[in-house]
Amino acid sequence: MSIAGMLQGVATLAWLLALGAFGFMVFNIARGRQFAGGAAVIIGAVVIALALTGVAAGLVFIEPDDLGVVVTAVGSGGIRPDPLRAGLHWIVPFAERVETYSILRQTYTMSSNSGEGQVAGDDSIQVRTKDGQQVQVDASVIYAVEPDQVVALYTTWRTGYEAGLVRPQSRGIIRDVASQYGVEEIVSSKRAEMEDAIHAELVRVFASNHLVLQDFVLRDIRFSDEYAKAVEQKQIAEQEAQQAKFVVEQKKQEAEQARQTAQGRADAVVIAAKADADSAVIAAKASAESRVIQAKAEAEALALISSALKANPDLLTYRYIEKLAPNVQVMYLPANSPYLLPLPTPTSTVIGPTPAP
């Protein structure tokens, strides 16, 4: 309970005491009795009640989240120029009164769902878009009183700023801004841009009327049944087109994969054939080089043999005897010939290297 309320309670008790004393005095006078000091008690109780009532009427306590505008009958203008801040204040009893304004954030909602907004029933905003479509917009406006402009707000709007300013201005601005966009832009590509434009216009209008816009919330956008069906059919057609495109791309990928597989097989056959041909060429070259090397070796060997026979003629006879020796057990020699078999006669013919084929 506030101090003013407590004083008012005490003042009420004083008034009850005064009335009780007056009634008791009347009762005694009616019975012919004297009530000593009754008048003094009544007067004292009345004085105390008046004093307490005056003090209670003059004390005003402003809550921390409120501001007070003093409407006065004292002086000119009818309103004190400065608002009352939070705390205990004194005003002239019965000559001044205080109108309080909350400085907390306030939300005004316009919705098609009953019970969500300040107005019962469907309170959404009907908007005609740039391309002639009808849409319904649900929105909330979050605002607060400008503390330094609360006296001007009272002068201009009193307490009717919500119904006289916030609601009509918000609905009008939303309708005007949304009408500059097409329905598909509102739904997708330019929804954020539209919200920003509405927010900026609300800031300007509220500021000129001593309010501060805290936020604007675009809650929902709904279309007519005909447009909703058209959008649904369009989405179905787009999905079917996407599916067909996907099938075509899949077939192309399968064909490309088959082509690449066939190409790979063909390339493998070509590579294998080329490898076989290269192997054959390499083998032929190796065989030819081997024969050339062998012929050169034989020619060099024959040249060495020829040189040896030329230098040692008896070497041939020795080699002949050496070849016969392992297979001869007994040899009969005629008297007129020392050898059974004729010995080779060296000639002057020089054995040269055999030409390479």
- What is 271-306 written as a DSSP string? HHHHHHHHHHHHHHHHHHHHHHHHHHHHHHHHHHHH
For the cut 80, the answer to whether the pLDDT of residue 81 exceeds it is yes
Distance, in Å, from the CA atom of 116 to the CA atom of 109, rounded to the nearest integer, reads: 7
Which of 99, 123, 150 represents a domain boundary (last residue)?
Answer: 99
Q: Which two tokens stand for residue 266?
A: 């063909």
**Residue 179, domain member (yes or no):** yes
**Residue 144, domain member (yes or no):** yes
Pair 217, 164 in one domain:
yes
Question: Domain span at residue 79?
Answer: 3-99
pLDDT, one tens digit per residue, over 208-233 is 999 999 999 999 998 877 776 766 67
Pair 66, 114 in one domain:
no
Pair 124, 212 in one domain:
yes
Contact between 143 and 150 (Cβ < 8 Å)? no
Pair 79, 124 in one domain:
no
Name the percent of the chain lying above pLDDT 90: 35
Lowest-confidence pick of 11-15, 104-108, 200-204: 11-15
**314-320: long-range pairs with CB below 8 Å, 24+:** 314/346, 316/344, 316/346, 317/343, 317/344, 317/346, 320/344
Which of 58, 75, 99 represents a domain boundary (last residue)?
Answer: 99
Residue with tokens 């084929």: 357
User: Which segments of 312-356 does DSSP mark as H helices, in order?
Assistant: 315-324
In this structure, how many other beta carbons lie within 10 angstroms of the beta carbon of residue 274?
10
Would you state the pLDDT for residue 348? 45
Task: Name beta bridge partners: 144.
Answer: 212
Pair 131, 85 in one domain:
no
Pair 138, 60 in one domain:
no
Would you state the pLDDT for residue 350? 43
For residues 262-284, average pLDDT: 82
Would you state the pLDDT for residue 201? 97
Pair 130, 191 in one domain:
yes
Q: Which residue did the predictor score with more confidence, 34 or 142?
A: 142
Pair 95, 116 in one domain:
no
Distance, in Å, from the CA atom of 80 to the CA atom of 58, rounded to the nearest integer, reads: 15
For residues 329-356, average pLDDT: 50
The number of folded domains in the chain is: 2
**Residue 12, domain member (yes or no):** yes
* Closest of 158, 156, 59 to residue 101, by C-alpha: 158
**Residue 47, domain member (yes or no):** yes
**Residue 119, domain member (yes or no):** yes
Four-point Cα dihedral 285, 290, 295, 296, nearest 10: 100
Would you state the pLDDT for residue 328? 56
Pair 88, 147 in one domain:
no
pLDDT-based confidence at residue 168 (cuts at 50, 70, 90): very high
- Which CATH number goes with the domain that contains 210? 3.30.479.30
Contact between 303 and 353 (Cβ < 8 Å)? yes
**Residue 350, domain member (yes or no):** no
Which of 99, 134, 167 represents a domain boundary (last residue)?
Answer: 99
For the cut 60, the answer to whether the pLDDT of residue 349 exceeds it is no
Q: Which residue did the predictor score with more confidence, 5 or 272?
A: 272
**Residue 320, domain member (yes or no):** no
Looking at residue 351, what DSSP letter applies? P
For residues 281-290, average pLDDT: 82
Mean pLDDT of the chain: 82
Pair 218, 115 in one domain:
yes
Pair 110, 95 in one domain:
no
pLDDT, one tens digit per residue, over 40-66 is 777 777 787 788 788 878 888 899 999
Pair 129, 156 in one domain:
yes
**Residue 234, domain member (yes or no):** no
Looking at the whole model, is its pTM more than 0.85?
no
